[in-house]
Amino acid sequence: MTQTGILYGIGVGPGDPDLLTLKAVKALGEVDVIFAAASTKNDYSTAYAIAEPHLKKGVRVEHLGFPMTKDQDELEAAWKKNADIVSKVLNAGENAAFLTLGDPLTYSTYGYLQRTLLKMDPSFHLQAIPGITSFQAAASKIGLIMTESKESLLITSGVADPEELERQLDVADNAVILKAYKNFEDIRATLEKLRLDDKTVLVSRLGMEGESILMDIKDAPKTPHYFSLALVKKNKR
């Protein structure tokens, strides 16, 4: 009987190919198959573009379609289909890598794939390899000390409910709001209400063309770019 392969869930970091870890690069050089999540509308995968300089020449690449929908049934059907594709590779004894932006266990599509695969067969050998998150890269870029000593740091997303966001921002010392383009006017209103707007930096398109860093979120347009995150620092000094 063939031994089943290993699936590595690889965090490729926020954009710069040099922000991959050595561990991720080594795994990429050893696997038989690369899986890249992409929209079902086109085959483009940002994670693939970041990892590309580190791939073996001629390695097999498969794109897994991920529909941009909120329909839970449609999403689950897509993940079941993707997990089937991955499981066939693993059951054939091949090793594979699933590429994901940032970190594989922090707001990543890898989580869904891992859960679906383990439901199919709990004995699958899955191994996540951590990656640098977008907010770490943003904080490094501007030298913002995200948290120190007794302080806490809350990480949340623009898709969260506005009331939840308010409750959470109220108790945490510092915060990161990912996908800040979602519900942006609500986010800005909440920050204003808590008098945190001038303590919030909005970073858009980090490291890409058109990069924008606004040290006061008040100065932001009504609809910031899709690649935007907010860094909230109550004790800004």
Binding site for a second copy (CB under 8 A): 13, 16-23, 25-26, 103-108, 111-112, 114-115, 126-132, 136-137, 139-140, 143-157, 159-161, 164, 167-168, 171-172, 237
- Residue 33 one-letter amino acid: V
Whose Cβ is closer to a second copy: residue 132's or residue 220's?
Answer: 132
What is the C-alpha to C-alpha distance for residues 145 and 106, in angstroms, rounded to an integer? 20
Whose Cβ is closer to a second copy: residue 50's or residue 218's?
Answer: 50
Least distance from C-beta 20 to a second copy, angstroms?
A: 6
Whose Cβ is closer to a second copy: residue 32's or residue 166's?
Answer: 166
What is the C-alpha to C-alpha distance for residues 15 and 55, in angstroms, rounded to an integer? 16
What is the C-alpha to C-alpha distance for residues 13 and 135, in angstroms, rounded to an integer? 10
Whose Cβ is closer to a second copy: residue 43's or residue 76's?
Answer: 76
Whose Cβ is closer to a second copy: residue 17's or residue 65's?
Answer: 17
Least distance from C-beta 151 to a second copy, angstroms?
A: 8
Least distance from C-beta 199 to a second copy, angstroms?
A: 16
Token representation of residue 151: 């302080």
Least distance from C-beta 50 to a second copy, angstroms?
A: 12
Q: Decide: 161 and 177 in contact? Cβ < 8 Å.
A: no
The DSSP H or E segment spanning 35 is strand 33-39
* Cα-based angle 53, 92, 122 (whole degrees, multiple of 5): 95
Whose Cβ is closer to a second copy: residue 169's or residue 217's?
Answer: 169
Q: Is 77 helix (H, G, I), strand (E, B) or coil?
A: helix
Taking the CA atoms of residue 14, residue 17, residue 20 and residue 24 in that order, the dihedral angle to the nearest 10 degrees is 120
Taking the CA atoms of residue 191, residue 194, residue 196 and residue 201 in that order, the dihedral angle to the nearest 10 degrees is -20
Least distance from C-beta 2 to a second copy, angstroms?
A: 23
Least distance from C-beta 79 to a second copy, angstroms?
A: 12
